[in-house]
Amino acid sequence: PDPNLCDGLPLIPCYAAGNPDSKDTGYGTLTFETNPDRWGLAFFEVWLEDDGIAYPLNNVPCHCQVDVNPCPALPVNQGLNVPCNQQCNRQLFGGNPTPCNRQIFAINIEPVNDPPSFRPLGPVTTSEGAQVTVPNWACNIDHGGWMEWPYQEVSFAITTSDPTFFTTPPTIAPVPAGEELPCRDLTFNLAPGKCGIVEVTVQPIDNGGAIAGSQMGENALGVPYTFSITVNPENTPPGFTMPSNMVTAAEGTGTIERRLGFLTDIFAEPFDSCDNGDRVERINVVPVTPQCAALFDVPPVIDLPSGDLRFIPHTFATTPPGGCCYDVIATDLHGASSVAQQFCINLTPRNDNPSFVASGDVSVCEDADVGGMQWATHICAGSIKLSTVCDMQEQASQQVTFDVSTQQAALFSEQPSIDSMGVLRFQPQPDASGTATVYVRATDNGTPVAKTVDTIFTITIVSTNDPPTATLGQAVVVDEDVGAVRRSQWLTGLSPGAGEANTQSVDVVGCLNTAPSLFSDQPQLILNGDVSADLVFTTAADKNGVATVTCTITDNGGTGTGQCPGNNTITLTFPITILPVDDPPFIELHESCVRPEFMCSGSTSTSICIGRTQGGTCTETNLVTSVSVLEDEGLMQLHNLIRRYGGGPPDEDQAVAFEIAASDGSLFAATTPLRIDPVSGTLIFETAPDAHGETILSITAIDSAGNRSPTLGVKLTVVSVNDPPTLQARMSVVVDACYKEQCPVLTFPSFVTSTPGPANEAAQQVTYSVSPADPSWFTTLPTIAPSGLLKFALKPGLFPAGSMQQTLVITATDDGGGDDTTSTHSTLIVVTSNQPPAFDISPLPLVATEDTPDVVRVPQWARQITAGTPGESFQSLTFSCRLDDATLLKAGTSLNVDSTTGDMMFEVAQDAYGETTGTCRLVDSSGAGVVRTFPFTVVPVNDCPVLEVVSQQLNIYDNGAVTEPVILSSSAGPREDHQVLSFKVLSISKPSYFVIEPHFEATGIVLHPKDGVTGPVTLTVAATDDGGVQRGGCDTSKRLTLQIFIAHANRPPAFKVNNNVITVLEDSPLVIIDRFVSDISAGHADETQSVSCIVSPSVVQGFAIQPHLALSVDSKTAALQFRTEGNTTGQFTLNVICTDSGLSSPPHQAQSLPVQFIIDVTPVNDPPFFKFASPDGIRVWEDSGRYELPIFLSGLVAGPEDEKSQVTQVTCSPTERAFLLDTIDLHVSTTDNGLGTHTASLSFIVAPEVFGTATLECCAVDNGGTANQGENNYCSS
């Protein structure tokens, strides 16, 4: 239906007759190329033709049959479901007719959304705070192809590098569907106080989406375009802050009144990114109240840059109501003036100093409660007209306060103070004494505040004796019967009194307590010098309770007499608690159990030593007796072991339990625990079977409070008793009858095994004896060695056919004595013997070929097969064969030999070869057999190599050689890793598409398409090995077809920078260099993308307007624009980078390499500068003689920061009414004022008897010169 869908008809290549690749026919590859931006359904007929003879049928040419993929379902209204009914006949090999037909198929080209695009106008330049509309900034807005504009909408996503530049961000109105290639305005509102360059990125977006699954689909996002908006500053009037608009000063005294920082935040424009280096040139103070001019010797002036206000009030001057008011106006270098702000000065009368009469020095006792005392009298707020009468005018309107201070503040807990009535108050620090010098100054609350000179007096604190002090230790709690107790330094902090340690000492008078019966030695305090004391006492036996102790301590400071008496005694009271203690229980063994050496010396009783020395010679060992019993005697009782026991003294009637433990518990049966009968004192235990040895029984009594008695020990010995040995023998021994003249001695290792008894008898030796039931069977009677070896020899020819048996009695004896013998029996069986079979094998080697598909048969491989002796021919024979390397045979099969014919049969395993050894065993029906070994070989045959690729379709680009790792896996064949494998390109459908023919290298296939060549190419590849083709081998893999599609790769833009070094003068205006960049192209000759160019970096310190590029209308050239900041010099290295709107992800390149250029800013000398400290002029009186002004000029500099090293000379001369002045002298300071500027002083003599106004012109000249239009002088009057 649409012939424009395809560029030429689709092709299906066929193979020619005789083509070696004809074995792969049966499939045809369909190849076609679609036209750009075309989509829909196209229908085609397909048939095959050969070069044979055609037999017409109804004048229709005969074609052979072809099968194609089923046609897609077609809309009914297409009417294209044409049946394939054309047929013809062709004579084949047998003359059979074969129907053939044409078939119809469809190619459905699905739509793919293309990205939108537009043509931007480029960078924008505007002013600070502007509301901007750029008409038709975006034009030729394309929805994404001629087939998409009718139904898609285009909008714009806009981002900025600094959103704070805008109050309303940049916007572009959307384009509705159906509007073809329109233009749209760019609008935005700028924020005040923001200057410089901001980058804006605009990206078009349509609402068509991307078709899912499409391999060539593109996103609906268009190529973003980045441009710059340059915002230039606008001059704004200066300003300042006046924290206070009212100044109050006293009536004049001839001195300068200053108000530091009267103006703050003085600025020429707001401090922001638009600051253009402007500064405030002067501040004018304009009178608003004319009648105030006579009230000041020097009128108000405000200094720059400090903002200080200075003036000299006239003596006796007072201002009218509301004060004298002035307007303050600041003016900048460009002539802009600030809004006037008003302030007023109020001049007031001075205040007189107050006065009073002091009482003199004061004396109090140490630690006294002082309260208050009248100290100052005749208190006046102002001057005293008479000796005792105050100035009532100031007295009525003012109040007097006293400032009191002393350098001996440590003497007071409440510092000295005097209230308005003259009452002195203070409080001495506890225990403090000494003399303090006190300073008193009276102050009134007039304006300004008036003060008296200091009045000095002393406060003496008289010392008194303090009682001693001490700190008690922790509560004293001890156990009953603890004996002597000494608590070292229990009493601490002992002192004669505060501040008296160096002059006095302390002593303990004595201690009493409320319960002396609790102690054998009564509690006392023993001094350790004068700083601490030990508490000592000894408890009485078996006594407990609480005693309250009272001790008295004195110092030798006395109690004193007169005005300030003292105290020298303290009493300390504390408790001592003696806690009751539970006594441990005790145990006494029966007299018959006590060993005499453990009796206490000098004792007449049978008491046992329990760990404490009572007689002087007792040992700490409490082992008191020993007992012996026999092994395996079972349950045992030792009667009356415990004679007496108890829970402690008689007043501790407590229940007692026994704890008993054995040092070796393995001697006792686990079922019967060790215990002692508490009534009879009997020890009850049971020994473990076969256990013997010595153990210590530890016996301890425990009362109901958990107290334990000393542990007593009883030594118990279990005496060993010998056990019989164990014996095991084989149940029977079967031997063949002997037919030789002399029968050999037969041996049977490990015929018997035995042990001497339990583990404790392992050292005993065991011997064996054998008693046969019929000794006549033997030439050598049976014997058994200690190792268990049985040995005997049979008589020859004694046994008829069949078998005979008899019993052997075996006895084992150990050398332990007692019960030392054990017997058992075994059966001896004698049977007649069978002769083994025999066979020979073929002398020819067994050789097979790898991968032999059928069963291999080797006729008569086994020969001369016999069952043994002629009398054994009735027996059946069986072959069992195996290979040492069974992997040479097919899994689940083995070597098989026919015992009748001797033929050998086997199956070779797939891909297995090698040499190994085979073994065959011939066995008769009686179990006798014979073994033969032989070599076995499988000869290898080369397998075809295997090649598998990652994908049979590769997409590459026309921008140079690539190496594609197409090989997914490869192999020379099974077990053929030693072979060398190589890869070859067998055929190329379009060799002219490549610079060099495709070929394989180590890492993949190398493809180097020619520049600008695109389209499909078909390669045929295969793998080969060096294994050869002997014995039907294969050295080439199956051929694989690779479809290569060559696409165009985006090239980076190209351009030319026409001037790599740009030289401009310092402080130059906006610089515009047309055609700075030229010959701008998208890159490759067939690329028509849009190109944008920028300067990098985008922000460089030193530029008021950052360097940027403005594209021409045809986008072939670009102009460079920039403006440096004031006083900027030096070289700036920058780069030009261009970006096209094509694809950028590798291998595409949308951005060029940077091209460097330099902006060289040449220095230009700036003029020097100064300002007059009094810009409104100098006012002097007629005939006043010499006048000196310490600071006449201020802020004197040679220029900007980089010109401060220049030398500046200043001269001043009168230009009008010069006769008014004589001897003008100007002196410039040699050092700056800390702000980098200098000042100059002025002195002159006023000519006598003349008055009027003279004009002085001052000029400053530096040595920077005037090269490059520089300026080196500045004059002002």
User: pTM, whole model, 2 decimals?
Assistant: 0.34
Mean pLDDT score of the chain, rounded to an integer?
Answer: 81
Give the residue-averaged pLDDT of 602-614: 32
Q: How far is CA 1133 from the centre of its chain?
A: 39
pLDDT tens for 1231-1251 read 666 667 888 888 888 888 888
Q: How confident is the model at residue 664 (pLDDT cuts 50, 70, 90)?
A: confident
Range in 168-182, 427-441, 752-766 with the lowest mean pLDDT: 752-766
Cα–Cα dist 637/645, whole Å? 19
Cα–Cα dist 520/543, whole Å? 10
Do the Cβ atoms of 522 and 471 come closer than 8 Å? no
Closest Cα partner for 483 from 549, 578, 585, 573?
578
Q: How confident is the model at residue 797 (pLDDT cuts 50, 70, 90)?
A: low
Q: How confident is the model at residue 516 (pLDDT cuts 50, 70, 90)?
A: very high
Cα torsion 493, 497, 498, 501: sign? negative
Cα–Cα dist 87/99, whole Å? 6
Q: Are strands 196-206 and 154-160 parallel, antiparallel or unpaired?
A: antiparallel
The shares of helix, strand and coil residues in the chain, as percent rounded to the nearest 5, are 5, 50, 45
Range in 20-29, 165-174, 596-605, 1206-1215 with the lowest mean pLDDT: 596-605
- Is 50 exceeded by the pLDDT of residue 16? no
Q: How confident is the model at residue 497 (pLDDT cuts 50, 70, 90)?
A: confident
Helices (H), 476-586: none
Range in 3-17, 621-635, 938-952, 1097-1111 with the lowest mean pLDDT: 3-17
Cα–Cα dist 242/612, whole Å? 99
Give the residue-averaged pLDDT of 716-726: 83
Length reported for the chain: 1277
User: DSSP secondary-structure letter at 6?
Assistant: B
Give the residue-averaged pLDDT of 851-868: 87
Cα–Cα dist 175/142, whole Å? 10
Q: How confident is the model at residue 616 (pLDDT cuts 50, 70, 90)?
A: very low
Closest Cα partner for 867 from 931, 934, 932, 926?
926
Single-letter residue type at 428: P
Q: How much is the pLDDT for 934?
A: 92
User: DSSP secondary-structure letter at 690?
Assistant: T
Q: How much is the pLDDT for 83?
A: 34
Give the residue-averaged pLDDT of 972-998: 90
- Is 60 exceeded by the pLDDT of residue 609? no
- Is 60 exceeded by the pLDDT of residue 832? yes
User: DSSP secondary-structure letter at 889?
Assistant: B
Q: How much is the pLDDT for 160?
A: 94
Do the Cβ atoms of 1024 and 979 come closer than 8 Å? no
Cis peptide before 448 (omega within 30 of 0): yes
pLDDT tens for 366-383 read 888 888 899 998 888 765
571 versus 19: which is more confidently predicted? 571
Q: Are strands 821-831 and 732-736 parallel, antiparallel or unpaired?
A: parallel
Do the Cβ atoms of 535 and 575 come closer than 8 Å? no
pLDDT tens for 180-205 read 889 999 999 999 888 889 999 999 99
Single-letter residue type at 1026: D
Range in 391-405, 980-994, 1081-1095 with the lowest mean pLDDT: 391-405
- Is 90 exceeded by the pLDDT of residue 538? yes
Highest mean pLDDT among 387-391, 433-437, 612-616, 1245-1249: 433-437
Q: How much is the pLDDT for 802?
A: 54
Task: Provide CB contacts within 8 A for 26, sequence distance 6+.
Answer: none
Question: What percent of the chain has a predicted confidence (pLDDT) above 90?
Answer: 32
748 versus 619: which is more confidently predicted? 748
Cis peptide before 305 (omega within 30 of 0): yes
Q: Which tokens sit at 1106?
A: 């950052």
Do the Cβ atoms of 406 and 388 come closer than 8 Å? no
Q: How confident is the model at residue 684 (pLDDT cuts 50, 70, 90)?
A: confident
497 versus 360: which is more confidently predicted? 360
Cα–Cα dist 1040/330, whole Å? 90
> Which stretch of DSSP H or E encloses residue 1212?
strand 1208-1216
Task: For 292, list phi and psi in degrees, rounded to 5.
Answer: -85, -5
> Which stretch of DSSP H or E encloses residue 639?
none
User: DSSP secondary-structure letter at 1266?
Assistant: -
**C-alpha Rg value of the chain to the nearest Å:** 64
Cα–Cα dist 214/821, whole Å? 99
Number of H helices, E strands in the chain: 1, 87
999 versus 701: which is more confidently predicted? 999
Q: How much is the pLDDT for 80?
A: 32
Closest Cα partner for 399 from 355, 440, 446, 359?
446
Give the residue-averaged pLDDT of 522-538: 91
Q: How much is the pLDDT for 627?
A: 73
Do the Cβ atoms of 286 and 293 come closer than 8 Å? no
979 versus 558: which is more confidently predicted? 979
Q: Which tokens sit at 302?
A: 């405000």
- Is 50 exceeded by the pLDDT of residue 599? no
Q: Which tokens sit at 922?
A: 């011939």
- Look-up of token digits 């029984």: 697
Give the residue-averaged pLDDT of 1173-1183: 84
pLDDT tens for 284-329 read 999 998 788 888 888 899 998 889 999 888 865 778 888 899 999 9
Range in 35-49, 71-85, 238-252, 547-561 with the lowest mean pLDDT: 71-85
